C-alpha cells in the first residue's frame, strides 16, 4: 500500500493546472474579453450576428468593456440585450468545448440568441402594455336601467375569500350595496361566481327590472355566455346565475 501513495511534492504537481490559454486560437492569458470579443470563435459569432440581425458591435475597451456596454449612449436597448445574450452564449460554448463537447456552431448559436432576445423583448412589451393600459371609469347605464357591479377576492392558503356588489341607477346614485365572506372555495372563479349570484339576488330584492350586470372576470364572463358551465366546477352557480337573470325584464352581461 505504501508504494501507491504519492510523495508530497508529487501530490502538489497533480493539482489541476490553471488553464491560461485559449483552446481555440492558443492565445495565452485567456480572459473574458478574449472569449467574448477577440477570439476567432467570437469574431465569427459577431459576424453572424450582424448578418442575421443587423446588430453592429460597438467599440468596447478591453478593460472597461462591461461598463461601456451598459452605457445608454453605446447602443440601443435591443442591441445591448442581444450582445449580453451573445456573451452568455460564447462563454457557454467555451465551457462546452473545454469539457470535450462538440464544436460550437456560431450560426446556430446566433439563431438561438436572436430567438431568445425576441422573447425577452416581447415580454418587455407585454409588461409595458399592461402598465400603460388606461384605467376605465365606471359608465352610467342608459335611462330606466340599473347597473350591478360585483367583484371578489380569493386566498388560496385558506381557501377563503370575500365578495361585494354595488347597484346604481341611471344617474349613478347608489341603490344598494352588500358584501359577504366565503369559505371552502375551490378557486378565484368560484369566489367571483358567488359574488355574482349574490349581487343578482340583491338586485332582485331591490326591485330592479332592467339590469346591466358588469363583471371584470373574463373566465366567468365567457362561461355565462356559453354552455361550457355545465362541465365546470361552478356548474351549480353557473345555472343559478343564468336563472336569476331570467327574473329581470331585460338582462345584459358585460365585461370590463
Tens digit of pLDDT for each residue in 40-98? Answer: 778 887 887 777 777 778 888 888 888 888 887 788 887 888 788 888 877 777 776 66
Which pairing describes strands 174-182 and 210-215: parallel, antiparallel, or unpaired?
unpaired
pTM of the model: 0.50
Q: What is the pLDDT of residue 13?
A: 46
Q: What is the pLDDT of residue 233?
A: 86
Residue range 13-31: mean pLDDT, rounded: 61
How confident is residue 22, by pLDDT bands cut at 50, 70 and 90? Answer: confident
Q: Taking all residues of the chain, what is their mean pLDDT, rounded to a whole number? A: 79
Q: What is the pLDDT of residue 125?
A: 47
**Which is more confident, 10 or 75?**
75
Angle, vertex CA 237, rays to CA 231 and CA 239, nearest 5: 70
How confident is residue 204, by pLDDT bands cut at 50, 70 and 90? Answer: very high
Report the percentage of the chain scoring pLDDT > 90: 34
| 210: pLDDT strictly greater than 90 | yes
What digits encode the pLDDT tens for the residues 93-147?
A: 777 666 665 555 655 655 555 555 555 445 444 554 555 556 678 889 988 999 9
Place of cell 377576492: 153
DSSP string, 127-178: HHHHHHPPPPPP-PPPTT-EEEEEEEEEETTTTEEEEEEEEE-TT--EEEEE
Q: What is the pLDDT of residue 109?
A: 59
| 252: pLDDT strictly greater than 70 | yes
| Nearest of 91, 83, 111 to residue 41 by alpha carbon | 91
Q: What is the pLDDT of residue 7?
A: 52
| 253: pLDDT strictly greater than 70 | yes
Q: Indicate the DSSP class of residue 4.
A: G
Q: Which domains does the chain have, with CATH numbers?
A: 18-132 (no CATH), 146-255 (3.30.420.10)
Q: What is the pLDDT of residue 70?
A: 84
| 15: pLDDT strictly greater than 50 | no
CA atoms within 13 A on the CB side of 237: 20
How confident is residue 16, by pLDDT bands cut at 50, 70 and 90? Answer: very low
Amino acid at each position: 500500500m505504501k508504494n501507491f501513495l504519492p510523495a508530497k511534492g508529487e501530490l502538489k504537481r497533480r493539482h489541476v493546472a490553471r488553464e491560461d490559454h485559449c483552446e481555440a486560437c492558443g492565445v495565452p492569458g485567456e480572459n473574458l474579453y478574449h472569449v467574448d470579443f477577440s477570439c476567432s470563435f467570437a469574431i465569427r459569432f459577431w459576424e453572424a450576428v450582424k448578418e442575421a440581425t443587423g446588430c453592429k458591435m460597438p467599440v468596447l475597451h478591453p478593460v472597461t468593456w462591461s461598463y461601456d456596454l451598459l452605457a445608454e449612449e453605446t447602443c440601443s436597448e435591443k442591441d445591448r440585450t442581444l450582445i449580453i445574450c451573445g456573451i452568455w452564449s460564447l462563454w457557454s460554448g467555451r465551457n462546452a468545448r473545454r469539457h470535450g463537447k462538440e464544436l460550437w456552431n456560431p450560426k446556430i448559436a446566433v439563431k438561438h440568441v436572436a430567438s431568445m432576445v425576441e422573447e425577452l423583448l416581447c415580454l418587455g412589451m407585454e409588461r409595458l402594455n399592461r402598465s400603460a393600459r388606461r384605467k376605465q371609469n365606471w359608465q352610467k347605464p342608459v335611462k330606466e336601467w340599473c347597473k350591478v357591479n360585483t367583484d371578489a377576492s380569493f386566498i388560496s392558503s385558506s381557501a377563503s375569500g370575500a365578495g361585494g356588489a354595488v347597484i346604481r341607477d341611471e344617474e349613478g346614485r347608489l341603490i344598494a350595496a352588500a358584501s359577504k365572506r366565503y369559505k371552502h372555495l375551490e378557486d378565484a372563479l368560484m369566489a367571483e361566481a358567488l359574488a355574482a349570484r349574490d349581487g343578482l339576488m340583491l338586485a332582485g330584492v331591490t326591485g330592479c327590472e332592467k339590469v346591466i350586470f358588469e363583471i371584470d372576470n373574463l373566465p366567468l364572463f365567457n362561461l355565462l355566455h356559453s354552455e361550457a358551465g355545465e362541465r365546470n366546477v361552478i356548474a351549480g352557480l353557473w345555472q343559478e346565475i343564468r336563472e336569476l337573470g331570467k327574473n329581470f325584464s331585460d338582462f345584459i352581461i358585460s365585461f370590463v
